A and B are shown apart, each in its own frame.
Chain A
């Protein structure tokens, strides 16, 4: 019963969110001036690529830079 209520609630939330999406976005095209600022960009481009390989070679983790690292003798 509890699971069923949870599912119903989740479904209502999803439908609500979907309905919201169907009406209008949170930020309209003419409101995006600041979103184009450098400070709002997550992609580091070439800089991020080099950083990702540096960390690939010196740390045991990977990810977050949109690339797999490797492809080189940096292991």
Chain B
């Protein structure tokens, strides 16, 4: 588990991805490779997913992912880095059952790395409504994580984190070329919410509040222009945190900006993403996108990074909470991306390769602009999906 410098690892996401497979999903196999690179971190992740419809309305999905992360971790706060490479293995299994317009699915997931283990399970229900022109979705999951400092901690102290997640969404086709979706997601986290390798100057191991309520409201709209083979999408997310703390913490009132009350997490964020899809002939499609994210600082956080305008001694001596996690402060990120989809039908008559002619090849590149000490990042993905 290393540091703040771990961007690409996968969690409950895999579980919910499998849960979310549509009931009419074709049998298919997907393989992907992801590469993420910033100044002090490199993530390489191969991944494979297989989904298959079974008799009697059942379907099944399995996935396996391997994360190889090399990073300079901040085991000594902002002062000293050291290089580590670590592997994480993750697998999940999901089983769904279709009842007319309704699909119910359950899934389990296991993730293991030397200093972080996570077990989770979840359920999802989707139902087509209004002659299947709309879809209502509900999903939820529970995860239990165990953290440690691995070989760095002779005492082998364990930390725990419990995560409850719930989401509801409604997706509606408004016209033959216009579609809209509204979603709400909620997460409750209870346990150690910091990073066991990240220290705060003058305090040692960071100590964020141990409870967090998180909310995200996500409207989306998509429009297609058939005459020019062009599609547009607009995604928006409004996110906010809240937690009033317990009586002792309210009484202590030692938050950095008490004008917001006694909510140490107080903060919100706006995220907007626009996408343009353009078909180039029968087999190629290009997607251009731009994502912008802005957020306020949580109430208890202060910037201890002197080289980024912060003050290493900014936390008062008797602070209740302290963290050197920059993503808890105010920040903006920008991410332009280009992606190409290609169906290699040109191989349809080529021996051996013809078996791959009806799959889809995907290749994307994104550049992430960040204000934090991580610096800007390159993000490359490739994938191939083959129906069978």
Query: A residues bordering B, Cβ < 8 Å?
Result: 21, 24-29, 31-35, 37-43, 45-50, 52-75
Return chain A residues, CB-CB under 8 Å to B120. 71
Q: Report the tally of A-B residue pairs with Cβ distances under 8 A.
A: 242
Query: B residues bordering A, Cβ < 8 Å?
Result: 1-4, 6-17, 20, 30, 32, 34, 36, 45, 47, 49, 67, 88, 109, 111, 113, 115-116, 118, 120, 130-134, 139, 141, 143, 145, 147, 161, 163, 165, 167, 169, 171-177, 179, 181, 183, 185, 187, 189, 193-195, 214-216, 218, 220, 222, 224, 226, 230-233, 235, 237, 239, 241, 267, 269, 271, 275, 277, 285, 293, 295, 298, 325, 327-329, 331, 333, 341, 362, 364, 368, 370, 372, 374, 379, 381, 383
- Chain A nearest Cβ from B321, distance in angstroms: 14
A25 to B161, CA, bound (A): 45
Given contacts A27-B176, A45-B17, A64-B216, contact A58 B9 (CB under 8 A): no
Chain A residue at smallest Cβ distance from B119: A71
Given contacts A43-B20, A71-B145, contact A35 B165 (CB under 8 A): no
Contact with A66, one of B17, B34, B49, B222 (Cβ below 8 angstroms) = B17
B8 with A50: CB separation less than 8 A = yes
Contact with B379, one of A28, A54, A57 (Cβ below 8 angstroms) = A54
Contact with B10, one of A31, A33, A59, A71 (Cβ below 8 angstroms) = A71
A32 with B173: CB separation less than 8 A = yes
Return chain B residues, CB-CB under 8 Å to A53. 7-11, 13
- Chain B nearest Cβ from A38, distance in angstroms: 6
A58 to B372, CA, bound (A): 9
Return chain A residues, CB-CB under 8 Å to B181. 42
Return chain A residues, CB-CB under 8 Å to B241. 60
Contact with B374, one of A33, A40, A47, A58 (Cβ below 8 angstroms) = A58
B271 with A75: CB separation less than 8 A = no
Q: State the main secondary structure of chain A at its contact with B.
A: loop
